[in-house]
């Protein structure tokens, strides 16, 4: 399986899906089997589910060759390490407001000497205590993926410093919360939102870091890629199912009531 970091290093534009409300191994396998996605991210900001459920979810994704990461609020060190031990290839911090917070999140995700992550080799990431600790910590520090979401005006003001942080592998624009933070909720093509995108793109280009986004339309996605975006989160569990329901209704419209 090619990891997110490996694909980004090759300059690929990754197509990823989100799993939040409906985290079921069959749906995750279908996303990989029929959707052609390269990765899935699990939303632990808006949802809370067990480590065991995340373990099953990451296993289902790996069975289809998809890497994974978990979006986490930057408020709980333990949630970061549990996600990595459960088999997620990386973590993404939501609602970051400063480079200082981003640095702390990176340290939570990395072992000594880069960070302060607690050592436990019993999870999938250490192949259930079969990788010697020195080898495991060095390997995890090298391979684990860390993304930082830019979705607040505070983070936007500090995006240059955030993109410069060693250990930040990707900067991720959250257009919905960014529009809200800019006072133009849902107006994604507002000049303020477009200026924010340009600021993020410029910071990432300066520090040779890729950036990602949840595109609001195919044309929006094209615009982002033209500005250097390397990760498009184009599907989420609920929206994917809604699209399927709508397709069935459209195909059999004559049999449904008015």
Q: List, for residues 144-177, the tens digit of each pLDDT value.
A: 999 999 999 999 999 999 999 999 999 999 999 9
107 neighbors 74 (Cβ within 8 angstroms)? no
Measured CA to CA, the distance from residue 171 to residue 156 in angstroms comes to: 11
Give the helix ranges, DSSP H, for 20-64.
25-35, 51-63
**DSSP type of residue 253:** G
pLDDT bin (cut points 50, 70, 90) of residue 120 is very high
Measured CA to CA, the distance from residue 193 to residue 213 in angstroms comes to: 13
- Calculate the CA 120 to chain-centre distance: 24
Whole-model pTM: value is: 0.96
Inform me whether the pLDDT recorded for 253 exceeds 70.
yes
Rg value, the chain, Cα: 18
Whole domain around residue 208: which residue ranges?
4-255
Count how many domains the chain has.
Answer: 1
Measured CA to CA, the distance from residue 41 to residue 70 in angstroms comes to: 5
Inform me whether the pLDDT recorded for 258 exceeds 80.
no
Q: What torsion, rounded to 10 degrees, do the Cα atoms 202, 231, 8, 194 define?
A: -10
Q: What is the CATH number of the domain that holds 159?
A: 3.20.20.60
DSSP string, 159-216: HHHHHTSTT--EEEE-HHHHHHHTT-TT-TTSHHHHHHHHHHHHHHHHTT--EEE--S
Residues 215-230, mean pLDDT to the nearest whole number: 98
Measured CA to CA, the distance from residue 207 to residue 61 in angstroms comes to: 31
């Amino acid at each position: 399986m090619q990891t997110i970091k490996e694909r980004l290093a090759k300059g690929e534009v990754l197509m990823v899906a989100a799993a939040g409300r409906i985290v079921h191994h069959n749906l995750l396998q279908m996303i990989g089997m029929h959707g052609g996605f390269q990765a899935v991210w699990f939303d632990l900001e808006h949802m809370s589910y067990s480590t065991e459920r995340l373990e099953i979810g990451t296993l289902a994704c790996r069975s289809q060759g998809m890497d994974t990461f978990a979006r986490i609020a930057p408020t709980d060190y333990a949630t970061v390490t549990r996600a990595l031990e459960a088999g997620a290839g990386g973590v993404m911090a939501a609602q970051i407001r400063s480079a200082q917070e981003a640095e702390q999140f990176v340290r939570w995700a990395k072992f000594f000497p880069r960070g302060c992550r607690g050592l436990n080799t019993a999870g999938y990431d250490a192949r259930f205590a079969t990788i010697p600790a020195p080898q495991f910590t060095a390997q995890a520090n090298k391979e684990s993926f860390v993304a930082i979401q830019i979705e607040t005006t505070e983070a936007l003001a500090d995006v240059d410093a955030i993109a410069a942080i060693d250990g930040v592998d990707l900067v991720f624009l959250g257009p919905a919360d960014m529009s809200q933070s800019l006072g133009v909720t849902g107006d994604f093509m507002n000049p303020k939102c477009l200026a924010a995108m340009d600021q993020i793109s410029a910071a990432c280009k300066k520090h040779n870091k890729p950036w990602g986004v949840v595109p609001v339309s195919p044309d929006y996605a094209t615009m982002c890629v033209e500005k250097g975006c390397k990760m498009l989160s184009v599907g989420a569990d609920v929206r994917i199912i809604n699209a399927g329901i709508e397709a069935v209704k459209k195909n059999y419209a004559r049999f449904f009531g008015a």
